[in-house]
Structure 1
Amino acid sequence: MKAIYKFLPLAVLVFAAACATDDSVEAKKAELEKLKAESQEINTQITELEAELVQLDPEFAKQNQKSLLITTVKAQKGEFEHYVEVTGSVLSKKNVIISSETVGRILEIPVNEGQVVPKGAVMARLDAESIQNSIDELQNSLDLATTLFEKQERLWNQQIGTEVQYLEAKNRKEGLERNLASARTNLDKTIVRAPFSGTIESVEVRLGELVQPGMSMFQFVGESDLFIEADISESYVGVLEKGDSVNVNFPSINKDLSTRVSSVGAIINPDNRTFKVEVFLPNLPMVKPNMISVLKIQDYENPEAVTIPSHLILSDNRGDYVFAVVEGKAKKTYVTRGKTFERQTEILEGLTGTETLVDKGFREVGDNFNVNIAQQ
């Protein structure tokens, strides 16, 4: 019993210490919650006060902006060229339809579609029996008429016979000569020949078929005198002239060449408001009529132009502008743009060509925003 009383004071002390510890923890928690509430209230007051100062003092807002991370690009000064890009088609001045010039049945077609033939090559032969018979008859008549004329001429030289007899003999002989020459010309027409060197695009008749004068027999395309024709918007009237340089690309054969404008049309097509332009085309083995080409015709050149990437130009109610980097800040700079080609725009006013412009991040910055240039 005495042992129990002996430890009783110690238990009381431990209990009192535990109660004191619990009171201290709760007090600290209460103090923490109080400070958090006060901090939140202070932050709210700071935010409200900053907003009021931004409204009252714009310089305060600029000084407290965070720096935006950006990249930059330099404005360029140098030669700038502008081209009109249009699609053209290869044509031939020797793309013709060969027709029959006489009546006859086709006896021979010694050529095929796609065949390349030289000038004068035989493309078809027609039945010429009736014409040959006429030639034989005319030749016999001419032989007789020539003999009679020669005898009559000798008599006339001896002052025998009348002048009428002499003139009739002469006229008959000359008339038969003309008829014979005409018959021989018709005989030549029974042989259809290539008018120039070229390619047979199509054969439109068959062996044994009877053809008439003017009937289409072959589509024939010459190997030379190719050119490119394109339709240009009427807005370029007076800008494009004969002799202007042209860059030509043939997408199907991946071929490029430089040439010139050979002819500019004088009439506007009322349907599409364009005019025709012809471009000289040198002889190229792989270029064929009706092949598609892309023309780049130079219509403007400035050897001292200031140019910048086109995507950097923004617009507002006042006009076009870009952001230039000046002493660590983005400065809104208004510009007057000129022509644009291949994602580069000519700047007529507002830049000198020495400026550093905001590139990546140009849509996030504003006038006088602090910027930090990233290492590129």
Structure 2
Amino acid sequence: MKSTLKFLSFASLILVAYGCQKGDDLESKKEKLEELKTESAELAASIDELEKEIGALDPEFLKQTQKSMLVTTVNASKGKFEHFVEVTGSVLSKKNVSISAETAGRILEVPAIEGMRVAKGQLLAKIDAETIQRNIDELQTSLDLAKTLFEKQERLWKQEIGTEVQYLEAKNRKESLENSIASLKTQLDKAFVRAPFNGTIETVNVRIGELVQPGSPMFQFVGESDLFIEADISEKYIGVLHKGDSVYVSFPSIDEELHTKVSSVGGIINPNNRTFKVEVFLPNIKDVKPNMIAVLEIKDYENTSSVLVPNYLILSDNRGDYVFTVVNNVAKKTYIKRGMTFDGQTEVMEGLTGNEVIIDKGFREVGDNFNVNISKL
């Protein structure tokens, strides 16, 4: 038993000693690795600095040491550049009217509801006109008698029986009653409020049972013809936009596009949002309705001989904007003066002639005077 315990104790000591030796060896290797990494970084920095110093004295040496990078290119183009102001407008109608009562009475029917599309002449509301109808009926009875008397008097007058005064009195009585009935029928017709033209009911201001007087507002009605687009434009474009300017219009809800012109430019600045109104002519389009949203692109600038480059290829540093061009398979940092930008293209005012080859894919990885290999794909 004692021999066994002695053996186990000896074995334990050996394991502890081995573990300590292994742990010390691992830590030393980690320390050695960190030292080598530090030396490698310092060495790489020294090499890079030395290459730059030699390259400044011997450009050919720099070209030889630099690895040729695979890039793709695009050509700077020269052509027509157009800039557009993009704003959101709303379709409105010249026929936006308030329909009011033309006769007094109580509302009997209101078949019209807000948002309802109606045709010209369609009934919107009915006003109680029973009194007018009774007056018409009474006068109609008197008119029937007046017609009979006139016809008899006319026959006698043709037979030269009776006086001319009797004939004229009978005629006047008949015509007077006819005019009175016609006037009452006009008033009766005003009790039936109808749509003046094809359009949409915007608001309904009356309810069944209400008493209305002549001039009481009943409906706000918008016609479907004589449509136009109205938009608010920032005041900074005052003097830039003019009547007759070209406009591209799109309607996102119906996927419709068209080309039209500015029909009116407002001359007053809204003090709340510093904008002015612009109206755009809108031809008749089947699915375009009042209050529909429209996106306007109004052309405010055009140059028929601009040098154009894609926006994303333009980089900047402390000196200014630049692109990388390729000359004899070497990347060159070419500084430019940019103009206006629209639809992914930038107009270059200075720095390019339009005949340059510009690095596309890989333009962020290259540097000035880097060797490049242009991909054929």
Query: Could you tell me the TM-score, scaled by structure 2's length?
Result: 0.70
Question: What is the CA distance between 1:348 and its match in structure 2?
Answer: 1.1
Paired position in structure 1 for 2:150: none
For residues 60-139 of structure 1, the aligned pairs below 5 Å read 60=58, 63-64=61-62, 65-69=65-69, 70-109=71-110, 116-131=117-132
Paired position in structure 1 for 2:192: 191
Question: What is the CA distance between 1:357 and its match in structure 2?
Answer: 0.9
| Alignment partners' CA distance in 2, 1:197 and 1:57 | 81
| Alignment partners' CA distance in 1, 2:105 and 2:60 | 96
Paired position in structure 2 for 1:213: 214
Paired position in structure 1 for 2:279: 278
Paired position in structure 2 for 1:252: 253
Flag the 1:71–1:186 CA change in 2: closer, same or farther, 3 A.
same
What is the DSSP-based 3-state SS (H/G/I as helix, E as strand, rest coil) of the residue aligned with 2:131?
Answer: helix
Question: What is the CA distance between 1:113 and its match in structure 2?
Answer: 5.6
Does the alignment pair 1:230 with 2:228? no
| Alignment partners' CA distance in 1, 2:139 and 2:57 | 114
CA deviation string 1:143-172 (max 9, x = no partner): 99xxxxxxxx97xxxxxxxxxxxxxxxxxx
Paired position in structure 2 for 1:370: 371
CA deviation string 1:52-86 (max 9, x = no partner): 46336614477334234222111011111111111
For residues 287-298 of structure 1, the aligned pairs below 5 Å read 287-298=288-299
| Alignment partners' CA distance in 2, 1:256 and 1:111 | 33
Deviates more, 1:97-106 or 1:340-349: 97-106
Question: What is the CA distance between 1:257 and its match in structure 2?
Answer: 1.0
Paired position in structure 2 for 1:55: 53
| Alignment partners' CA distance in 2, 1:307 and 1:196 | 51
Paired position in structure 2 for 1:361: 362
| Alignment partners' CA distance in 2, 1:182 and 1:62 | 106
Which has more radius of gyration?
1
Question: What is the CA distance between 1:269 and its match in structure 2?
Answer: 1.2
CA deviation string 1:237-292 (max 9, x = no partner): 11111111111111111111111111111111112111111111111121111111
Question: What is the CA distance between 1:98 and its match in structure 2?
Answer: 1.6
Answer yes or no: is the 8 Å Cα contact 1:62–1:369 preserved in 2. Answer: no
AA partner of residue 243 (structure 2): K
Gaps of 5+ in 2: 1-38, 147-163, 166-176
Question: What is the CA distance between 1:233 and its match in structure 2?
Answer: 1.1
What is the DSSP-based 3-state SS (H/G/I as helix, E as strand, rest coil) of the residue aligned with 1:214?
Answer: coil
Question: What is the CA distance between 1:205 and its match in structure 2?
Answer: 3.2
Question: What is the CA distance between 1:370 and its match in structure 2?
Answer: 2.0
CA deviation string 1:145-201 (max 9, x = no partner): xxxxxxxx97xxxxxxxxxxxxxxxxxxxxx99999876654443232222232334
Answer yes or no: is the 8 Å Cα contact 1:306–1:347 preserved in 2. Answer: yes
Paired position in structure 2 for 1:11: none
Detail structure 1 runs of 4+ shifted over 6 Å in the superposition.
134-140, 176-184
Answer yes or no: is the 8 Å Cα contact 1:68–1:365 preserved in 2. Answer: no
AA partner of residue 61 (structure 2): Q
Question: What is the CA distance between 1:322 and its match in structure 2?
Answer: 1.2
Answer yes or no: is the 8 Å Cα contact 1:248–1:294 preserved in 2. Answer: yes
Answer yes or no: is the 8 Å Cα contact 2:54–2:61 preserved in 1. Answer: no
What is the DSSP-based 3-state SS (H/G/I as helix, E as strand, rest coil) of the residue aligned with 2:52?
Answer: helix
| Alignment partners' CA distance in 2, 1:296 and 1:339 | 15
Flag the 1:212–1:62 CA change in 2: closer, same or farther, 3 A.
farther
| Alignment partners' CA distance in 2, 1:229 and 1:340 | 25
Question: What is the CA distance between 1:360 and its match in structure 2?
Answer: 1.9
What is the DSSP-based 3-state SS (H/G/I as helix, E as strand, rest coil) of the residue aligned with 1:55?
Answer: helix
| Alignment partners' CA distance in 1, 2:374 and 2:366 | 12
Paired position in structure 2 for 1:163: none
AA partner of residue 66 (structure 1): Q
| Alignment partners' CA distance in 1, 2:99 and 2:93 | 15
Flag the 1:324–1:136 CA change in 2: closer, same or farther, 3 A.
same
AA partner of residue 253 (structure 1): I
Percent of residue pairs identical: 63
For residues 167-182 of structure 1, the aligned pairs below 5 Å read none
| Alignment partners' CA distance in 1, 2:130 and 2:218 | 21
| Alignment partners' CA distance in 1, 2:46 and 2:118 | 92
CA deviation string 1:105-131 (max 9, x = no partner): 123445566554443444333222334
AA partner of residue 81 (structure 1): E
Paired position in structure 1 for 2:174: none
Deviates more, 1:184-193 or 1:309-318: 184-193
Report the aligned-residue RMSD. Answer: 3.8
Flag the 1:240–1:187 CA change in 2: closer, same or farther, 3 A.
same
